[in-house]
Structure 1
Amino acid sequence: MLISKELRRIDGAAPDARPVLAKHVKMAASPFQFLRGASQLFYADLSFGNLRLPNALLDVPLTRIVGDCHLANFGFLTENGSYGDTVIWAPNDYDDAATGHAAFDLLRFCVSLFLVADFLEGLVAGRYRSEKRFKNKTPPTWKDAAGASERFLKSYRKALGQIVKDTDKRDEALKRFAKGHFLKKPICKAQARSAGGKHFEKKSSVAKLTKRTAAGFRFDPSSDKLAEVAPVLAGELRQVFGPHLDDDVLDVARRIGAGIGSLSVERYYFLVGPDAAPDAGTFRETHVVEIKQQREAAVIHHFPDLSPVNRMNPAHLTVDCQRRMMRRPDLVLDEVYWSGLHWLVRSRHHARLTVDPEDLLRTRKPAKALKDYAEACGVALARTHSRGDRRSVRYERAMTSALKTSRKELIALARKYAGQTRQDYALLLKMVGAHGDAYAT
């Protein structure tokens, strides 16, 4: 079975293996979670012809793509990593970034809109579970998801058209939203967590992971996101990665339980900053740097010959894509070869904030909120794709033309594949067995 084969290839074990991997149990929460954890299956279906994009979209010049493009991989972040204070809305996960067809990102995002609608409807109906509370009992429908897909693609096309007329537009960013927009409250929340914001010392990424000690700021040993690193390994990590961190290393910890697609990937956190008295001034300069084992981007295995660029080692490719695709990339962004593996070195953004699908059910009009969300993602993604080639507007011209004729076909394809994903999810549940019962009914 393709599902079992692809999950085993990436995760090292099939879903019916015992004990069941924590990643596969998480994927059993809903079809949306399944989509998030199995990007390689999406590309397998494209490669084998189970999923066929319109030819007009495949004729568009290649560009740098997010790779694992879905609703939960957009969010608020501080530009320049933890060195900047400007909060923007943008793609926030480049682990599967590569050179490829932008239509891969467009289709995958639209599929996620349908599956988010399914997830929210399932929460209200009791088919799926969540630890987050919600009030609204009127979730978006698949018709609403189709409307959100339309808004997403129209805003994407419009943003590309603006870049054709004025190339400076590709370096603009979404950093404010009007009153009544779904993302207005979240951006205010993110801004309060940035350096200088009123909640920086309590709610920022670094604040949630650290505590003040007599020796200075250190990782909080009671955090459920971090695990202690043995002294010998901590010393080796400092020796290998210290030169890339641009400051004193205050502490080292292992990150646990992060994400879904990369849940089984090893990663470490470094607390970096002035080795001085723990006061407000030194805390502002203290930040977290992530060291993450980097795997081959999902698209490459099934499309190995798309571009020579994709022959870079996995960490180098991620660094290269992130530097090109972000308006102001992290100042700490590098790659290191250690212990026979390629590792990505990058800042953790002070104000990193992701809007969870359940948050849509906290609004008066979830369907409108979903459309607001999709429209903002369309604008941000268009600018991100456009930065793949700053020498011309060939990509932008070709894609605006292709979407004019292929937009409705792409939405219909996304809806169909969302249905297929629900069927694949049902097969996953059978393989995971009783272990999935805690997440799905």
Structure 2
Amino acid sequence: MVVILSSRSERFKQGKALRHKTPREAHAELKGSMSRDAVALLAKSDPDRVPELVPERYARMMLNPFAFLRGAAAVMATDLAAQPMVGLPVQAGGDSHLMNFGAFVTPEDNILFDVNDFDETLPGVDFTVDLKRLAASVAVAAFSAELSKKQARAFAAETVKAYRWHMAALAKLSPLEIWHSRIDLEQEIDVIGGGGLRRKLAGVIAKARGEGLSKDDNFPHLVSGDDPKIVDKPPTIFHLDQKADAHHRLRGERVFAAYRKTLMPDRQRLLDRFTMKDLAFKAVGVGSVGTFCCVGLFLTGDNEALFLQIKQAQNSVLERLGSKYGYKGHQGRRVVEGQQMMQAASDMFLGYTQDEDSGRQFYVRTLKNRRLGGVSEISEAEALSGYAQLCGRTLARAHARSGDPAAIAGYMGKSEVFDDAIASFAMAYADQTVVDHAALVKAKTLAKGGKSTAKKAKAA
């Protein structure tokens, strides 16, 4: 917990003084042993996932180095443990790559751009951890878009610069002003120069307003009629067999009843206007594939729908940073509290629960269909750069809510020294990600070949 009692100028000086302990240039080098086995690190979480979906997880990660990076938060957390820390803690997102930001509509009908994934969130983590993952993801995305290394490095530096400048601006505000600050997407369009990104964000706004949801195969569709149900679209959306063992089913009514108790009374009253009608499994993301995730369909008496996503919460990968980062409480509550700390306007149905049969812990939120398209869809250099800078400003706003913006701004300073150092790290980690992705492809290709050979031998 950050307790701020001294003046902004004093805290700025305190942050600046931390450069003596951890010079800004120290962040440029990728430290630690990169001979670690990334494939083995990934495999450690396999036993905790639904076995049938583990191959799907790896299939998604094998697509390209950026897809690998998205699914390899645990690998990067292991690597970040060896990197220099400043000593300025924040509520960290834990998985702040480019695609874990998105747009959503607030109850006041504003469209905000914000951090949008909190599975790995953890309090008390150095601000550089999230920033290095974001910068590395920018460099890897540029590689995947077949841009030059010079462009990739420049984009990573621009992202850090956007974070640094926005943090400096926030440091001048009062705590209440910081808390109420937000990134309004419609206002961002007015200041973004790139035409490609302008068009992309305009499409996001249209989707956030509810236009075109029926055309999105990632969002559940309903069987129309007197008894609406979620349409099966295997392998991503399908109904569970309630006669299966406890690890392959979920007693929805009981689990959602426990979740209801974690909501504020006004939210309980609102939820009571809906009745649960259906429950289906939904495979999500890249890194989360195989964790237990379901979508509950809730309807009013007039068949007005509410979709609630119930997602398994496991230990944060940031616990790999060291023994002091362990979280002892309910993992679903960790995610809920982290989201409420970092987001400008949190989901009104955010809560947590547990399945007593399997022992799994979950968090619950409204199922949203609000994310920006894949990085491949904004591969134009100018659009990718503008989007990355938007993410940098957004991360600064999220960190300023829990951390000390004046001290962080003091450490980073007014020059580009810090930007340049993190950009160097990002490029080194992007190169390492290419190597790790190739190792995964090779391992899975050999494993598949071995199984085919064994199958042929058995048949013979």
Shorter-chain TM-score bucket reads: 0.7 to 0.9
Task: Flag the 1:13–1:387 CA change in 2: closer, same or farther, 3 A.
Answer: closer
Q: Which residue of 2 aligns with 1:137?
A: none
Paired with 1:155 and 1:162, the residues of 2 have a C-alpha distance of 11
Q: Which residue of 1 aligns with 2:432?
A: 420
1:270 aligns with 2:296: yes
Asked whether the 8 Å contact 1:174–1:380 carries over to 2, the reply is no
Spell out the pairing of 1:92-111 with structure 2 (5 A cutoff). Answer: 92-99=116-123, 100-111=125-136
Alpha-carbon spacing, 1:235–1:434, altered in 2? closer, same or farther (3 Å): closer
Aligned-partner Cα distance in 1 for 2:361–2:152: 38
C-alpha deviation, 1:321, in angstroms:
0.4
3-state secondary structure, aligned to 1:21: helix
Describe the shift of the 1:257–1:183 C-alpha distance in structure 2 as closer, same or farther (beyond 3 A): same
| Corresponding residue for residue 26 of structure 2 | none
8 Å Cα contact 2:164/2:396 also seen in 1: yes
Could you tell me how far apart the structure 1 residues matched to 2:53 and 2:276 are?
A: 37
| Contact 1:205/1:352 (<8 A) preserved | no
Any idea what SS the aligned residue of 2:402 has?
coil
Deviation at 1:299, TM superposition (A): 0.8
1:209-288 to 2 correspondences below 5 Å: 209-211=220-222, 213-215=224-226, 217-221=228-232, 225-230=236-241, 236-242=251-257, 244=259, 246-247=271-272, 248-276=274-302, 278=303, 282=304, 286-288=305-307
The Cα offsets for residues 224-251 of structure 1, whole Å up to 9 and x where unpaired, read as 6321134568883112214535242343
Given candidates 76, 96, 102, the residue that maps to 1:69 is: 96
Give me the whole-angstrom Cα distance separating, in 1, the residues matched to 2:422 and 2:148.
Answer: 18
Partner residue in 2 for 1:153:
160
Cα shift readout 1:255-306 (whole Å, capped 9, x = no counterpart): 3332111101011111123132x4xxx3xxx221111111111111342304
In the other structure, the counterpart of 2:309 is 290
The 8 Å contact of residues 278 and 298 in structure 2, kept in 1 or not, is answered as no
Q: How far, CA to CA, are the matches of 1:434 and 1:19 in structure 2?
A: 19
Of stretches 162-171 and 241-250 in structure 1, the one that deviates more from structure 2 is: 241-250
Mark the CA change 1:292 to 1:114 in structure 2 (over 3 Å): closer, same or farther. same
1:410 maps to what in 2? 422
Q: 1:421 to 1:205 in 2, by over 3 A?
A: closer
Q: Percent identity?
A: 21
Contact 1:242/1:249 (<8 A) preserved: no
Please name the residue that 1:44 is paired with.
78
TM-score between both structures, scaled by the size of structure 2: 0.76
Larger displacement relative to structure 2 (266-275 or 170-179): 170-179
Equivalent in the alignment of 1:3: 38
User: How does 1:26-37 map onto structure 2 within 5 Å?
Assistant: 26-37=60-71
1:84 and 1:265 map into 2 onto residues whose CA distance is: 33
CA 382–251 in structure 1, closer or farther in 2 if over 3 Å, else same: same
Alpha-carbon contact 1:157-1:399 (below 8 Å) kept: no
Name the residue aligned to 2:182. Answer: 172
CA distance in 1: counterparts of 2:348 and 2:217, whole angstroms: 17
Q: Which residue of 2 aligns with 1:126?
A: none
How far 1:220 sits from its partner (Å)? 2.4
Where does structure 2 lack aligned partners over 5 or more consecutive residues?
1-35, 261-270, 450-460
One-letter amino acid of the counterpart of residue 130, structure 2: D
Query: Contact 1:28–1:436 (CA<8 Å) still a contact in 2?
Result: no
C-alpha change, 1:229 and 1:20, in structure 2 (3 Å) is: closer
Question: Is 1:401 paired with 2:413?
Answer: yes
Does residue 144 in structure 1 map to residue 151 in structure 2?
yes
Provide closer, same or farther for how the CA distance between residues 143 and 251 of structure 1 changes in structure 2, counting only shifts above 3 A: farther
- Deviations, residues 420-439 of structure 1 (Å, cap 9, x unaligned): 121122221221116789xx
With over 3 angstroms needed to count, the CA separation of the structure-2 counterparts of 1:71 and 1:347, relative to structure 1, is same
Give the conservation status (yes or no) of the 8 Å contact 1:28–1:429.
Answer: yes
Give the whole-Å Cα distance in 1 for the aligned partners of 2:410 and 2:69: 29
User: Cα deviation per residue 1:328-380 (whole Å; 9 max; x = unaligned)?
Assistant: 1011111112131211111112x41222111124xxxx111111011111111
SS of alignment partner, residue 165 of structure 1: coil
Query: 3-state DSSP class of the match of 1:96?
Result: coil
* Alignment counterpart, residue 86 of structure 2, candidates 22, 47, 59: 59
* Displacement after TM superposition at 1:64 (Å): 0.7
Note the alpha carbon deviations across 1:63-91, whole angstroms, 9 max, x for none. 01111111111122223xxx563222222
**Alignment CA distance shift 1:360-1:189 (3 Å):** closer
Q: Does 1:358 align with 2:355?
A: no
Q: Is the 8 A contact 2:136 2:427 kept in 1?
A: yes
Once the 2 structures are TM-superposed, how far is the Cα of residue 402 of structure 1 from its aligned partner? 8.9
* Range that drifts further, 100-109 or 210-219: 210-219
The alignment partner of 2:45 has SS state of helix
Unaligned 5+ segments in structure 1 are: 122-139
Between the aligned partners of 1:418 and 1:235, the Cα distance in structure 2 is 39
Matched, 1:373 2:387: yes
What secondary structure sits across from 1:183 in the alignment?
Answer: helix
Q: Match of 1:335? A: 352
| Corresponding residue SS for 1:355 | coil
Query: What letter corresponds to residue 161 of structure 1 in structure 2?
Result: A
What does residue 23 of structure 1 align with?
A: 57
Q: How far did residue 13 of structure 1 move?
A: 9.4
Are the counterparts in 2 of residues 76 and 90 from structure 1 also a CA contact under 8 Å? Answer: yes
Change (3 A) 1:60 1:242: same
TM-score norm. by structure 1 comes to 0.79
1:112 to 120, 128, 137: 137
> Given the alignment, which residue of 280, 302, 323 partners 1:304?
323
After alignment, is 398-407 or 67-76 more displaced?
398-407
What CA distance in whole angstroms lies between the structure 1 residues aligned with 2:226 and 2:53?
A: 42
CA–CA separation in structure 2 for the residues paired with 1:214 and 1:20? 35
